[in-house]
Structure 1
Amino acid sequence: MTGSDTGRTSPGNTAPGNPAPDPPGADWRRLPALMLAVAPATALLKLAPALIVLVLFGAGRGSGVQLWIAAGIAVFAVGAGVIRWRTTRYRITPERVELHSGLLNRQRRAVPRDRIRTVDLTAPLLHRLAGLSVVRVGSGQSGKESGLDLDAVTTPEAERLRRELLARPAPATGSVPDPTGNVPRDTAPAAPAAAAPEPGAEPVPGAEPVSGVELDRLDWSSLRYAPLTVSSLAAIGAVAGAGWNLLREADVDPRTLPGADVVAGELSTAPIWASVLVGAAALLVLMVAGSVVLFVERWWAFALTREPDGTLRVRRGLLTRRSLSVSERRLRGVTVTEPLLVRTLGLGAQAGALTVGLARAEGEQGGGSSGALGPPVARDHAHAVAAAAARATHRVTDGPLRAHPRSARTRRLTRAVLPALLLPAAAGVLLAAGGPAWPLPLAAVPVLVAVPLGLDRYRALGHHLDDDYLVARQGSLVRTTAALRRDGVIGWRIRQSRFQRRAGVVTLEATTAAGGGSVVVLDVAPADAVALVAAVTPEAVTPFRS
């Protein structure tokens, strides 16, 4: 699918091993000249912390070496941007998308158009100011060579490329249903004749662009879920760590900041519990405020639409605008995830898509998990969004599920409690050796938490099979309900460990080409597992019945 070489090429050459002549009209194009300013500015912005430290370090010591180093970095960034613009070109043919780039290390990349799964339009702040967008073409394979990036093209050109690359072939007479998707192969959902242009057709000058059907948009009440997501809290920790490292590199002691000595003096005279309480409260306020800011930046102007070209499109972002389009032909199902804090304190959830070709790198876990269809919202709303995205007539992820055997509850409790018992055991050994007694009651807390956690994990287990979907649910810290289309199942895997054999349960995996590669039905009775396989793919068990 992709390739690279270090040889010299000409604009008329095709990918290695494919000497077919260039089709008419497939001319090579260069990136806009605005990239001569945007590319160096972007590089300097990424290097800004290091450059600031160099300038401050050099100015504070009366030496000009650091200043010369900073100037050299700036000149190098500008030169690299010019070389990149001069050596990068791309073209789109009826068969593939090609990108040639590089001076010393010449690279050629080509993605066949029939393998294109996603088109992601991203516009960081500097690109937006210049009217540019980055076009990421995804082929659904992992690794750096899974697609190609056009960084960058004008925003109108990016939108035109999105429509062109995701356009479906013209409907064929007597088309048959797609065995691995929920939309008939080579056909589009019915739409009024005047509503959608022909796939790949050029827009009519002066005509208004065709808008999609809106499935969801941002509700600011969802802000209450922002501090409850682990990814937001982790991001705040990363930002705080980077800020601390920057202060250390700049030889700045936080204790010398204005007012720091007063606060330190007050805390030094206060009881230890008061100091801990103040520190915890300050940290909590910082994390909540930071998570809200990250939520706003990530989900600003969010909208989920079904486009006339047969794609689901997610648009969002404040500083960096992002638009991810996924062909509905690649949709295999939907998910609803419920993190523990969001589920317990806010009754919230997040809808997602099981889509062929949507790599994990093209989404953000938690703040948009892989295939996320929106931010965390109210639980009922998340189930409704998932059903709308799947074109389901009912909430497939919100129905009653078949309970799993009681032996599965024993396994959940055992797996939760046994690791927690290690802490009381260690505290007991320490006490027997003459150590303090206070760690023992603290070590008992995880045991008390492990019991309800194990019971909650068992209550989450369940599965259901209807005419269209296999639904499976599991998890406690992050409870996930996955609804996989029956025609999206491409195989089965049944696993049973030694402990599962003693408990009389198995783990059934319905393999698919979407999401994580499988939907897991955990600790199910063997008879139920066989019944599911026989109901979804009867041909898989026919040899064993004959």
Structure 2
Amino acid sequence: MNAYGTPPAAELRAEGAPGDGGWQAPARRSLWASAVKSLAIVAGATAGLVRLLAGRDWPVGGIVAVCAGAAVLIVAGVVAYDVLRLRTTRWRLTPERLELRSGITTRQHRSIPRDRVRSVDLRADPVNRMFGLTVVKVGTGEHAQDGSELKLDPLSRHDAEALRRTLLRQSQEAEAGDGPLAELRWSWIRYAPLSVWTFTGAAVVLGALYKALDSFGLKRFTTRLATELWEWLAAQPLLTVPLVVAANVVVGVLGAVLLFAESWGRYRLEREPGRLRMRRGLLTSRSLTLEERRLRGVEIGEPLLLRLAGAARLRSVATGLGRSADTDSEDAAALTPPMPRALAMRVAAAITGAGLPALVAHPAAARRRRLVRAATAALIAGLVTALVTGTGGAAPWPGVSGWASDVSGWVPGVSGWVNARLGGWVWLGPMAVLLYGLWHALAGAASLGHALGPRHLVARRGAVVRRTVALDRGGIAGWTFTESYFQRRSGLLTVSATTAAGRGRYDVVDVGRGDGLDLAAQAVPGLLEPFLTREKQ
């Protein structure tokens, strides 16, 4: 048959056997890949054996022999396990369903209807790529932890592509489009260091290195090295602290650039008939195909550092798309790497089929509310500082009893230590809280905006990370209206659109009460009208 029916044997039954009901085994080349991957276990076991036997004064020849024997046993054990896994794993594709049987001790038989397949994710790490293998994950648009994802591990690269086309009812000729929506430009790598991880990268690397050396029995060495480093820092802080900060930034920048290159190398986002396909990855190749009928909008994220550089990144708002259940740390909803903001806006417009309308600014009361909150936080920080430093006297609460008297007992001790160590510099804390609060209030208020387009509800918010979401009005399932005490006094409320996609709810924060209700009523006509009472003119 063609790609719209059951796959032909020449394409998808290379590993099957005649008369087996269409059941097929994963690619047997997986045994070679497993043997190579087991070398990582061999390395750790060898290090432990060397540490153990050297401490018991074993001769070098004996240590080598034991390590070689252990390596053979580990590789053989891993390969034997993979043989059992391959023998007990079978999958087949019928005209109605994709089925998978697996399990060595506990047998499982899972299947998903073909008409419910919404995404096909192909992934190949460097070892699998070496042997022409690909791991296939087939999703139905529900959350992975709900058991709606089948994982075929692994298939040959040819079979994986043929299965992807068959499940998505796509012929090879249909893959050609009008060109990519976005394609990697290596100049974007300049945005990679614009992340907080750049300034914490060295600490993460040192922590991982310390743990690794400790596992090899070098705890005394790492402890002595850490002690000497601390003494060096304490001896000449004016010289050593800037050097350490600079080294931390250099390591963080290098790590961010390398991570960007590996994650987004060969990136390409293109539209196929009825779906989006994203391919990326320099070492580990990734290919995600997403049906557009699952798409409920897009989200443009602008963290502060990226925003200052005029860059942004794009995420999809889609049903059942997020982090995988198998501890995958990547954001499966990411559609683009950091790129110029104007280009991100164009890609968003191409995906949604409409540009973002001009946003309506929120009332001045929203800015006033944020300024009051910032001033309150600064006042609390000032009171705490005055309490700790003893500005109000040696015993802030004389004559009180109970827990307050206990507090008044330790406050003078803390006050003495703080004044001796920091002196008047301690008041920089409340000042920093005030300045940050004022900036956050003004930037947050300036970011607020909303609009109603022909197909989408658009909302923007955020000071440190500004997010603009264009949510398909047809995907809105309900509304939630929230009014805090201070919002009520200012005539404001928060309108939350609930949806089965993305984060689950998207907020229009601090909008005028009347404007918020009208916005919700117009976004989904007929949903809110039975609960509204219009004032007579």
Provide the TM-score with structure 2 as the length reference: 0.80
- Cα 1:236/1:163, change in 2 over 3 Å: farther
Residue from 337, 353, 368 that aligns with 1:391: 353
Amino acid at match of 1:281: A
Please give the secondary structure, in 2, of the residue aligned with 1:457.
Answer: helix
Please give the secondary structure, in 1, of the residue aligned with 2:212.
Answer: helix
Q: Which residue of 2 aligns with 1:474?
A: 461
CA distance in structure 1 between the aligned counterparts of 2:175 and 2:85, rounded to whole angstroms? 33
Q: Which residue of 1 aligns with 2:284?
A: 320
Please give the secondary structure, in 2, of the residue aligned with 1:430.
Answer: helix
- Cα 1:270/1:103, change in 2 over 3 Å: closer
Please give the secondary structure, in 1, of the residue aligned with 2:181.
Answer: strand
Q: Which moved more, 1:372-381 or 1:442-451?
A: 442-451
Contact 1:233 1:291 (C-alpha < 8 Å) held by counterparts? no
Residue from 252, 261, 265 that aligns with 1:287: 252
Q: Which residue of 1 aligns with 2:194?
A: 228
Contact 2:199 2:248 (C-alpha < 8 Å) held by counterparts? no
Q: Which residue of 2 aligns with 1:441?
A: 427
Please give the secondary structure, in 1, of the residue aligned with 2:77.
Answer: helix
CA distance in structure 2 between the aligned counterparts of 1:479 and 1:527, rounded to whole angstroms? 25
CA distance in structure 2 between the aligned counterparts of 1:370 and 1:528, rounded to whole angstroms? 35
Q: Which residue of 2 aligns with 1:360?
A: 323
Q: Which residue of 1 aligns with 2:237?
A: 272
Displacement of 1:48 in angstroms is 5.8
Q: Which moved more, 1:420-429 or 1:318-327?
A: 420-429
Residue from 418, 421, 425 that aligns with 2:383: 425
CA distance in structure 2 between the aligned counterparts of 1:421 and 1:117, rounded to whole angstroms? 53
Amino acid at match of 1:503: S
CA distance in structure 1 between the aligned counterparts of 2:374 and 2:158, rounded to whole angstroms? 54
5 Å-filtered alignment, 1:138-157, equals: 138-144=139-145, 145-157=147-159
Q: Which residue of 1 aligns with 2:361?
A: 403
Displacement of 1:146 in angstroms is 3.0
5 Å-filtered alignment, 1:146-185, equals: 146-167=148-169
- Cα 1:25/1:536, change in 2 over 3 Å: farther
Contact 1:299 1:375 (C-alpha < 8 Å) held by counterparts? yes
Q: Which residue of 2 aligns with 1:517?
A: 504
Displacement of 1:300 in angstroms is 0.5
Matched, 1:251 2:217: yes
Amino acid at match of 2:116: R
Please give the secondary structure, in 1, of the residue aligned with 2:193.
Answer: helix
Please give the secondary structure, in 2, of the residue aligned with 1:442.
Answer: helix
Please give the secondary structure, in 1, of the residue aligned with 2:358.
Answer: coil
Please give the secondary structure, in 1, of the residue aligned with 2:52.
Answer: helix
CA distance in structure 2 between the aligned counterparts of 1:134 and 1:233, rounded to whole angstroms? 35
Please give the secondary structure, in 1, of the residue aligned with 2:333.
Answer: coil
Please give the secondary structure, in 2, of the residue aligned with 1:538.
Answer: coil
Q: Which moved more, 1:408-417 or 1:58-67?
A: 58-67
Amino acid at match of 1:372: A
Amino acid at match of 2:185: D
Contact 1:507 1:522 (C-alpha < 8 Å) held by counterparts? yes
- Cα 1:48/1:423, change in 2 over 3 Å: farther
Matched, 1:29 2:24: yes
CA distance in structure 2 between the aligned counterparts of 1:162 and 1:112, rounded to whole angstroms? 15
CA distance in structure 2 between the aligned counterparts of 1:361 and 1:97, rounded to whole angstroms? 20
Contact 2:322 2:331 (C-alpha < 8 Å) held by counterparts? no
- Cα 1:107/1:277, change in 2 over 3 Å: same
Contact 2:144 2:320 (C-alpha < 8 Å) held by counterparts? no
CA RMSD of aligned residues (A): 3.2
Q: Which moved more, 1:425-434 or 1:126-135?
A: 425-434
User: Of Structure 1 and Structure 2, which has the larger fraction of its residues in helix?
Assistant: 2
Q: Which residue of 2 aligns with 1:114?
A: 115
Displacement of 1:316 in angstroms is 0.6
Matched, 1:462 2:473: no
Contact 2:371 2:438 (C-alpha < 8 Å) held by counterparts? yes
Identity of aligned residues (%): 38
Amino acid at match of 2:149: G
- Cα 1:211/1:150, change in 2 over 3 Å: farther
Contact 1:26 1:92 (C-alpha < 8 Å) held by counterparts? no
Contact 1:368 1:375 (C-alpha < 8 Å) held by counterparts? no
5 Å-filtered alignment, 1:57-96, equals: 57-61=51-55, 62=57, 67=67, 72-96=73-97
Please give the secondary structure, in 1, of the residue aligned with 2:502.
Answer: coil
Amino acid at match of 2:455: D
Q: Which residue of 2 aligns with 1:343?
A: 307
CA distance in structure 2 between the aligned counterparts of 1:112 and 1:38, rounded to whole angstroms? 31
Contact 1:334 1:353 (C-alpha < 8 Å) held by counterparts? yes
Contact 2:295 2:318 (C-alpha < 8 Å) held by counterparts? yes
Contact 2:265 2:281 (C-alpha < 8 Å) held by counterparts? yes
Q: Which residue of 2 aligns with 1:14?
A: none
CA distance in structure 2 between the aligned counterparts of 1:117 and 1:235, rounded to whole angstroms? 37
Contact 1:118 1:357 (C-alpha < 8 Å) held by counterparts? no
Contact 1:335 1:480 (C-alpha < 8 Å) held by counterparts? yes
Contact 1:507 1:524 (C-alpha < 8 Å) held by counterparts? yes
Contact 2:201 2:248 (C-alpha < 8 Å) held by counterparts? no
Displacement of 1:212 in angstroms is 6.3
What runs of 5+ residues in structure 1 fail to find an aligned partner? 1-23, 168-198
Higher-Rg structure is 2
Amino acid at match of 1:54: G
What runs of 5+ residues in structure 2 fail to find an aligned partner? 1-18, 391-411
Question: 1:36-66: CA deviations, max 9, x gaps?
Answer: 1213433543x36633532442353245698
Provide the TM-score with structure 1 as the length reference: 0.79
Q: Which residue of 2 aligns with 1:487?
A: 474
Displacement of 1:265 in angstroms is 11
Aligned length: 476
Q: Which moved more, 1:264-273 or 1:122-131?
A: 264-273
